[in-house]
Amino acid sequence: MDFLTIIPQLWHGLGWPLLRLVFFVSLGLMVGNFIEALNWTRGAARLATPLIRLGNLSDTAGASFSMAFFSGVAANTMLAEAYDQGKLNKKELVLANLFNTLPIYFLHLPTVFFLTAPLIKGAAFIYVGLTLLAAVLRTVCILILGRFLLPTRATGKVADLLTDRKRLTWREALTKAWLRFRKRINKIIVYTVPIYTLVFLMNRWGFFNWLEHLLTNHLTVLAWLDPRSFGIIVAHVAAEFSAGLAVAGALIQGGTLDYRQVVLALLVGNVLAAPARIFRHQFPYYAGIFTPKLAMEMIFYSQTFRVGSIIVVGLGYYWLSA
């Protein structure tokens, strides 16, 4: 093939899509960090009082729920201190920690959405919507469990247990967002650019056609998935979420996979990446707040509920979208 012919093909197939992708990912990440820094999501903390009454949770659990809208570390620290002081028993400690998954999800929702949208386009609305539904499902289950497992109690004012938090000005929020952006963008680009390039080349070399043939003939456990989506799952498990998104974005851009196949692959990768997530991120964080033994117990319950809810939502999406 003539060299002068290859250059335009590389530019239109790889160069321009990759340049546009990095720009929109950078812009989205900055916007998401700015929204988080301004703490616009904290208004949803008003849900705490009626919800804790419904689930027979204590005011401490409600205060932790409200605090989780802007700091998961602060929310879990409050629970750990209450447990050490005997204000919470172990049963309520576990339920309260699981109860916080919804506000923590909302805390990171802007960044997650603005990171996924440039990479997987319209599939981002489906994927984020399904993970949000899974978070809501977990919250409903916790409230039902609390209703049956915890004694009925009178609740006071959750706000009395919350410490004042300084409101950031727009300039301070922008500075905070910029610092967080600089910390994360390098890592995202390190994964995104080489992975996107590699997937483009693999697609050109016919790798995914070969993989489709191999998996169709030998793999039965995940036979319901499109074999061409396995690169997404492998990247998600072996590296991290942004790596899986990079692969998904390249496959969508090349017309290899549609939105449904990408969403299902991301959900499977989310489930299979749970063990790696525990040891890379969650255990060091939890062990710094709770004792190592208690941290492992909390993580076990948390990941069991999270994975279970994603499987339920994923199965529902699989059958309804078939």
User: Over the stretch 181-193, which tens digit does the pLDDT of each residue have?
Assistant: 777 677 667 766 7
In this predicted structure, what is the pLDDT of residue 284?
A: 64
Beta strands in 267-321 (DSSP E): none
Say how far apart CA 51 and CA 309 lie, in whole Å: 20
> Which residues have a Cβ under 8 Å from the Cβ of 248 and sit 6 or more positions away?
119, 120, 123, 232, 257, 262, 265, 266
In this predicted structure, what is the pLDDT of residue 287?
A: 74
In this predicted structure, what is the pLDDT of residue 41?
A: 46
Residue 165 has pLDDT above 60, yes or no: no
Sign of CA dihedral 110, 111, 112, 113: positive
Query: Which residue, among 212, 204, 214, has the nearest Cα to 255 in the 3D structure?
Result: 204
Query: Which residue, among 214, 200, 280, 211, has the nearest Cα to 247 in the 3D structure?
Result: 200
Could you give the percent of the chain with pLDDT greater than 70? 75
User: Over the stretch 119-150, which tens digit does the pLDDT of each residue have?
Assistant: 888 899 999 999 999 999 999 999 999 989 88
Say how far apart CA 34 and CA 40 lie, in whole Å: 10
Residue 159 has pLDDT above 70, yes or no: no
Asked whether the beta carbons of 219 and 72 are under 8 A apart, the reply is no
Contacts from 179-184 at CB under 8 Å and sequence distance 24+?
Answer: 180/33, 180/36, 180/37, 181/26, 181/29, 181/30, 181/33, 184/29, 184/33
Sign of CA dihedral 129, 130, 135, 137: positive
Q: In which band, very low, low, confident or very high, does the pLDDT at 218 lie, cut at 50, 70 and 90?
A: low
Asked whether the beta carbons of 183 and 29 are under 8 A apart, the reply is no
User: Over the stretch 56-86, which tens digit does the pLDDT of each residue have?
Assistant: 888 788 878 877 877 777 788 878 888 888 8
The two structure tokens encoding residue 314 = 């994923």
User: Over the stretch 272-294, which tens digit does the pLDDT of each residue have?
Assistant: 877 767 766 677 667 777 888 89
In this predicted structure, what is the pLDDT of residue 221?
A: 65
In this predicted structure, what is the pLDDT of residue 272?
A: 81
Asked whether the beta carbons of 123 and 150 are under 8 A apart, the reply is no
User: Over the stretch 15-29, which tens digit does the pLDDT of each residue have?
Assistant: 777 777 677 767 766
Q: How many CB atoms lie within 10 A of CB 62?
A: 28
Look at 224 and 45; give whichever has higher pLDDT.
224
In this predicted structure, what is the pLDDT of residue 198?
A: 76
Q: In which band, very low, low, confident or very high, does the pLDDT at 314 lie, cut at 50, 70 and 90?
A: very high
Say how far apart CA 199 and CA 64 lie, in whole Å: 43
> Which residues have a Cβ under 8 Å from the Cβ of 318 and sit 6 or more positions away?
224, 264
Mean pLDDT of the 243-249 span: 83
Mean pLDDT of the 235-262 span: 81
How many CA atoms are closer than 13 Å to the CA of 150, on its beta-carbon side? 26
Could you identify the residue written with the tokens 């990768």? 269
Q: Which helix (H) or strand (E) holds 49?
A: helix 48-54
Say how far apart CA 77 and CA 215 lie, in whole Å: 46
Could you give the percent of the chain with pLDDT greater than 90? 18
In this predicted structure, what is the pLDDT of residue 313?
A: 96
Asked whether the beta carbons of 59 and 155 are under 8 A apart, the reply is yes
Claim: this prediction has a pTM higher than 0.85: no
